[in-house]
Structure 1
Amino acid sequence: MGMVLIVATAPLMAEDANPRLTPLVRAVQRVKTSVVNIHTEKTNYPDEALFAGDKPRKVSGMGSGIIIDPRGYIVTNHHVINGVDLDTLQVTLHDGSMYHAEIVSFDSKHDLAILKINSSVELPVMPLGTSSDLMLGESVMALGNPYGYKHTVTAGIVSSLSRDVEVNEHQTYENLIQTDTSINPGNSGGPLVNMRGEVIGINVAIRAGAQRIGFAIPIDDARVTIRKLLSIEKLDNHSHGLISRDHKTASEKEMIVEASSGPAQQAGLKTGDVIVSVNDKPVLDAADFERYLLGHSADESFRLVVRRNNEQREMELQIGASSSTRSLPVDNSVVFQNVSASDDPIWMTLGLRLIPTAVSSERYRGGMKVVDVRKGSAASQNGIRAGDILVGLHKWETINYDNVSYVLEHPQLASFSPLRFFILRGQETRYGNLQISPTDLNANVSAQTTAQTAAR
């Protein structure tokens, strides 16, 4: 019997030669170099007005991010970088090296943003999992920068699925993963990882002070948004002509063609084809496909491996310039409305000359480009300048003259003062409060009357 016991336990001892090397430890080792720390500064002004006041103060911010492309593309939460001073946006890699980051694109509704750093070496990409088969009680871990403590690992389980969480009137999350893993300020944008060492969610710190209640955006949902944020049509003005869907299970991840036109049709792609690889790089979903094509010149060719009817075949895809109609910024020489300065309610009340323009943000349908600012006006005092795009006043969007006039002609305009405004400056949404003086209000009424008389 003794010999039988020795023979039976020998393999077990070999397997457990290092019992400390648990699945959790292995998972950490696999993903830790793909997690980054994000540091920001934001300039806050008194009374929450972004431009008003003479004593602004700097507020430090922090967050986490995930490397999704070896060229330095990083995904994080939009709220981590929203409104920050762009020259302070800094990313720290696991090895301690620091880089200035630029904002490539963002989606405020789904709270995701893409950053880019310029590294001289290829960076490790986070292994991709799926959120399609998560199990209640499944072990998970979060990595990130909570409260500025870099490279922190916390562990827990999946507590619940499909949670909807309303943060405020502007932000509601849908279909979140709930976990008892500690997710604190600074963890936002970092990965929620399974025991295989695969990202299955992007953490969002929502409930301040909550005990063992954290949330994450399911990675399958996030990848749909990431695909849009990396779109070569949006970022490069190029087109591949594919409409696709992702199919993901624990055992397979596929990008399936639903329709093809233009370059894709010319390459021979058909409905039902599965894109296996691009230039020998595996394609797990449409986000992979977009990032492989991103940053290349128009008319460049890519070698595709496609599976059709269980047979693989090679095709050549040549991307081209986008054929979609895009509204270009309106020329500053455009003729303004046919009224003099003293008869223009917008000029007399806000101190702005505006023209309709397109915007590059998915959050807004359009805006009014600032082409002139009246010295001493409410707009001038709040730092609005030519080139800014007015996208909102009070609680209404401003796509055209009628939208702005609606606000200025509102019978309760006086009660709106200070009048909240929202502008785009570059890719950043900024806001502030316009203090409209009684003189400006009287001038507004006078200008409206004159303009209405002229219209008759």
Structure 2
Amino acid sequence: MTPIVKAVRAAEASIVNIRGEKTVNGESLVVGEGEPGRHVNGMGTGVVIDPRGYIITNHHVVSGVREIQVTLADGRRFVARSIAHDPETDLAVIKIDAPDNLPVLRIGRSSDLMTGETVIAVGNAYGYENTVTQGIISALHRAVQVSDAQLYSDLIQTDASINPGNSGGPLLNIDGEMIGVNVAVRAGAQGIGFAIPIDKAMRVASDLLDRRNVRSFHHGLVLGETAPREGRGLSVVSIDEDSPAATAGIRPGDVVTRIGDVEVDGPIDFQRALLDRLPGDELRLALRRDNRAVNVDLTLAAASSASRAKNSPAWEALGMDLERISPSDFRRRFKTSYRGGLSVTAVRPDSPAASQGIRPGDVLVGIHIWETVSLEHVSYILEKSDAATEDSVKFFILRDGGTFYGYVSLASTGKKTR
């Protein structure tokens, strides 16, 4: 058995076929495919990323589809529902309700790929199920403009054939690990195929699942990836005060290595462990603390009750209720140099924010000299930074495609320390 055969055998049970009827309006995402205003039977491929039936694929494969039909490698068919999607990166997560756990494809890394490396593409090319093609990595970091609305950046280029129907399927390395998500952006191209690097795809998938989870419950953890020399897991960067994480005794500097029965190697694993959880659910977390193994139990809180507690400094000092925007959603909605922002969901009448004309729908991107990427940033700025001693601070908001700024008073907050 050759290495390529072994790689395909290891991956094929986790690869699914996706079909569904859609109406093509305007320019198709895949160059050379479709005509305006006509019904077509869409086809594509997906990959199981969680045994409970969560599947990653391309956004354009499932966008506008009336009924997403998924066929597993063993022939079973299910109707899937859309969980989350990001048109900018052309990625989506869907789910089927299978009666048993599904095999999950092993995830590799795209950060250390090399030009000339052997790769394998598997998918539903032109409707022919489980089509396998072989090639090499021709180039890295390619940018491809397929329409006025769609620019792919940082793609893997390969000479393995990737045709319509392959979109959403895996690009494998010789070990059978997924190193990219195939995307058929050049219909009929000979010797030129592209794939979204797996590191980017998993980061986007994590953001998409986080956006879904954050609406349901609150845990109070802010996590970051560990350096390779520090071993597997996610490092605890900070913890919200009076949060479930604080109650559980988790500390900054701890490393989360497992949640329940899910091993945590990266952000996607953390979000997978939280899928289908509800407020009140208890999670067993395995931590690494000062080279010791520690287990703690964390009980999830309702998102609604947690939101005001997290926002209380902004509400009390400025009169604004703020809500997190996921990184992928922020990048999709705003073309700006700011790294992120917080959505203004409510403004208290007669508050400092109201007096400056801030209104619901604005996006707060900065206070004083700091960006407001997270709710924790705002709490720090208003309670612990040198801005807390000022009579007023400068703020920056996004509104209707523009950036606006002003000065908001802190004189009446009762938090001044000088």
Give the shorter-chain TM-score range: 0.5 to 0.7
Pairwise CA RMSD of aligned residues? Answer: 2.8
The match for 1:26 is 6
Flag the 1:280–1:71 CA change in 2: closer, same or farther, 3 A.
Answer: closer
Task: State whether structure 2 residue 102 is matched by structure 1 residue 123.
Answer: yes
Greater shift, 185-194 or 279-288, is seen at: 279-288
The match for 2:126 is 147
Q: Are the counterparts in 2 of residues 248 and 254 from structure 1 also a CA contact under 8 Å?
A: no
Shift of 1:131: 1.0
Flag the 1:193–1:46 CA change in 2: closer, same or farther, 3 A.
Answer: closer
CA distance in 2, matches of 1:174, 1:143: 22
Shift of 1:251: 11
The match for 1:36 is 16
CA distance in 2, matches of 1:220, 1:249: 15
Q: Any residues of structure 2 matched to 1:94-173 within 5 Å, and which?
A: 94-173=73-152
The match for 1:291 is 272
**Matched residue SS, 1:231:** helix
Flag the 1:156–1:124 CA change in 2: closer, same or farther, 3 A.
Answer: same
Count of residues in correspondence between the two structures: 307
Q: Are the counterparts in 1 of residues 43 and 61 from structure 2 also a CA contact under 8 Å?
A: yes
Residue-by-residue CA offset, 1:198-218 (whole Å, 9 max, x unaligned): 111111111222221111111
Q: Are the counterparts in 2 of residues 189 and 204 from structure 1 also a CA contact under 8 Å?
A: yes
**Matched residue SS, 1:269:** coil
Q: Any residues of structure 2 matched to 1:292-331 within 5 Å, and which?
A: 292-322=273-303, 323-324=306-307
Q: Are the counterparts in 2 of residues 232 and 294 from structure 1 also a CA contact under 8 Å?
A: no
CA distance in 2, matches of 1:45, 1:187: 21
2:14 maps to a residue whose letter is S
* TM-score (norm. length: structure 2): 0.68
Shift of 1:61: 0.7
2:56 equivalent among 75, 79, 82: 75
* TM-score (norm. length: structure 1): 0.62
Flag the 1:56–1:141 CA change in 2: closer, same or farther, 3 A.
Answer: closer
Identity percentage of aligned residues: 47
Shift of 1:234: 4.3
CA distance in 2, matches of 1:153, 1:255: 35
**Matched residue SS, 2:65:** coil
Q: Are the counterparts in 1 of residues 71 and 78 from structure 2 also a CA contact under 8 Å?
A: yes
Flag the 1:70–1:250 CA change in 2: closer, same or farther, 3 A.
Answer: farther
CA distance in 2, matches of 1:108, 1:82: 9
Shift of 1:232: 6.5
CA distance in 1, matches of 2:24, 2:86: 23
Task: State whether structure 2 residue 206 is matched by structure 1 residue 227.
Answer: yes
Q: Which has the larger radius of gyration?
A: 1
Flag the 1:165–1:225 CA change in 2: closer, same or farther, 3 A.
Answer: same
CA distance in 1, matches of 2:229, 2:21: 40
Residue-by-residue CA offset, 1:347-387 (whole Å, 9 max, x unaligned): xxxxxxxxxxxx99945589xxxxxxxxxxxxxxxxxxxxx
**Matched residue SS, 2:74:** coil
CA distance in 2, matches of 1:207, 1:80: 15
What are the ranges of 5 or more consecutive residues in structure 2 without an aligned counterpart? 29-35, 309-324, 335-342, 344-360, 363-418
Q: Are the counterparts in 1 of residues 236 and 251 from structure 2 also a CA contact under 8 Å?
A: yes
What are the ranges of 5 or more consecutive residues in structure 1 without an aligned counterpart? 1-20, 49-54, 326-358, 367-398, 401-456
2:282 maps to a residue whose letter is S
Residue-by-residue CA offset, 1:181-222 (whole Å, 9 max, x unaligned): 111111111111111111111111112222211111111111
Q: Are the counterparts in 2 of residues 236 and 295 from structure 1 also a CA contact under 8 Å?
A: no
The match for 1:276 is 257
1:173 maps to a residue whose letter is Y
1:273 maps to a residue whose letter is D
Greater shift, 284-293 or 246-255, is seen at: 246-255
**Matched residue SS, 1:29:** helix
